[in-house]
Amino acid sequence: MATLQLATWATNLTYANLSTGVVDAAVKSLYNWAGCAIGGYVQDAPQIAQNTTLAAFSGPPTSSILGANDFISSGYADAQTAALINGIASHVDDYDDTHLETIIHPAGPVASALFAVAEWKAPVSGHDFITAFVAGVEAECKLGLSVYPEHYNVGWHITSTTGSIGAAVAVSKLLGSATVTMQNAIGIAATQVVGMQEYFGSDTKSFHVGRAAQGGMLAALLAKNNYTSSLQGLEAKFGWLHVVSTRENATAYFGQLGQIWEIEKNTFKPFPCGIVMHPSIDAAIQLHNQTIQEGKSLSDIDTVELRVNPQVLILTGKTDPQTGLEGKFSIYHATAVGLIYGEATPKEFTDAVVKNETVVDMRKKVNVTTDASVDNAQGYMTVSFKDGTKLEKHVVNAIGSRENPLTVDDLKKKFMDQVTMAIGQERATKAYDAFTNIGNLTDYALFRAKKSLNMTVVHIVLFKFRPDVTDEHKATFVKELKTLKTLPCVKAQRLVVGGPSITDPIERSKGYHFALLSFHQDRKALEEYQASAEHHRVTSTYLWPFKEDVTRFDFEVDQEDEHMWDFVAKGMVNGAA
């Protein structure tokens, strides 16, 4: 019943069902996700994942890797690889959104999958994108509510365990899947359950989110192509709900779908670390400022006493972190940097700061006591000085909580700080404008034009001749191609030759013989080029009758990177992409 219940609701959801508040919450969640993905791309985890997967295993590069600036090595990937990399990058800094009732970070798995598929499958409208995103977020959060806290308390990473299912629902919705198809997608995603808390503080934590995005996307695509699963993948005796939790109440929570919107409860982190530490960081920053205002010296701090919810030590109890990632899960480190620096930005969670002697000394002064009566959004801190004086702070609603949320200006600053550091001020401004207006697009294919500076469209045809094609014919073909350069709708055209021997049967399997690149001012110019009589004459006479294999695709790219596509095409011809 639960699987059908979820699939039926998601299949029938329309943009008209979404209130202004739901749409606004979705847009905030999306641009917060984008900022985290672009900013997080510079970290080791997404870089290692990309270097491991992109050159060796990727297909045609149809989807953006958000933080990448270099089109030769990193700007685009196939949709599955892009979902993996963007998912990792969006979570690696632990700066993403949070559904506080479940501690799910909902945007990462869903948006990473959806964004990659939307670019690949464009045209997609902004309204359709928002609707699919909301469907995925509601699915994972309602699912999380139905098993929380039991599911979390035994050690599952709830963001990824529910996220793969949310991603499957979102992508299925975008693809226009029927209800039974979405049921199959949910089942395929559910059987890919991924993520355990043992790996918090390592690269593997963010891998959970990337893999959930990738797995959910794959589930939706397989189901769309008639791959079958259990239609009761959630509620069956050996289904997801009963295997990963000792308690579930999915039917009741799914009954609230479309009535109580979980996305409106989504919150956004002010600090890039485990969210249960945020009340203590908030208190530490306030006491840092008070210490300075009262003319006291931070070096005279003798002890720091914390009273917090028990979950704080369970999730962030690392007493002696050795890396920036481990610091994100150390209440001792988070408190120390808040007191010393009066802030807790990404730079306070680097390897260098974790090993800083002043920070290490302050960490040793922090003592933590747990109290089940203290809410997750609260914290008590007492700072004692060597002269016997004390400063105290009780944070009732930490900054970033539902009761004390980040403002629109706060969210913009957070986005711009992360993104400017990664791709520069001008591109960061373009990206912010694009993501905050994402719901207004009539064609998702226009998204790149909005987030980039000066655009051009590159159209690539990868071609392999039949074995019987003569050198004379090839020479004639190249000569005729030159006539297409004179068309007013063509900015430039280049032929990249490479690949296998035509006559060697073993070599013939290794790639294409050439890539034909044509550059156009916009998609309208590309359509004019493809519809022209001269294009039809050349291709129908000298190209298509002699083909053994052909692949075509196109994308919008920055004009400044136009020259790099010769190198990209060379890799494609030789089977490297």
- Residue 312 corresponds to which tokens in the numbers above? 């704080």
**Alpha-carbon distance values, 476 to 117, 159, 368, 483 (Å):** 39, 58, 79, 12
Structure tokens at 230: 């259990």
Distance, C-alpha 468 to centroid of its chain: 47
Task: Indicate the pTM of the whole model.
Answer: 0.80
Tell me which residue of 212, 18, 21, 250 sits closest to 134, measured CA to CA: 18
Tens digit of each residue's pLDDT, the chain (577 residues): 999 999 999 999 999 999 999 999 999 999 999 999 999 998 999 999 998 987 677 777 788 898 885 433 457 889 999 999 999 999 999 999 999 999 999 999 999 999 999 988 878 899 999 999 999 999 999 999 999 999 999 999 999 999 999 999 999 999 999 999 999 999 999 999 999 999 998 999 999 999 999 999 999 999 999 999 999 999 999 999 999 999 999 999 999 999 999 999 999 999 999 999 999 999 999 999 999 999 999 999 999 999 999 999 999 999 999 999 999 999 999 999 999 999 999 999 999 999 999 999 999 999 999 999 999 889 999 999 999 999 999 999 999 999 999 999 999 999 999 998 888 888 889 889 989 998 887 765 545 544 444 567 888 888 788 888 888 887 888 788 878 888 988 888 888 776 554 444 444 445 677 788 888 887 788 888 888 998 888 888 887 777 777 777 777 666 656 666 666 666 666 654 3
Q: How far is the C-alpha of 272 from the C-alpha of 94, rounded, in Å?
A: 5
How much is the pLDDT for 127? 95
User: What is the predicted pLDDT for the residue at 415?
Assistant: 96
DSSP-based three-state secondary structure for 261: coil
Instruction: Say if residues 213 and 207 touch (Cβ distance below 8 Å).
Output: no
Q: How far apart are CA 154 and CA 160, in angstroms?
A: 15
For position 498, what pLDDT does the model report?
A: 67
pLDDT of residue 508: 40
**480 exposure class (CB count in 10 Å sphere: 0-12, 13-18, 19+):** middle
DSSP reduced 3-state for 530 = helix
* pLDDT recorded at residue 432: 92
Question: What is the Cα–Cα distance from 506 to 368, expressed in whole angstroms?
Answer: 67
The pLDDT of residue 509: 46
The domains found in the chain, sorted by start residue, are 2-270+413-449 (1.10.4100.10), 275-395 (3.30.1330.120), 454-573 (3.30.70.100)
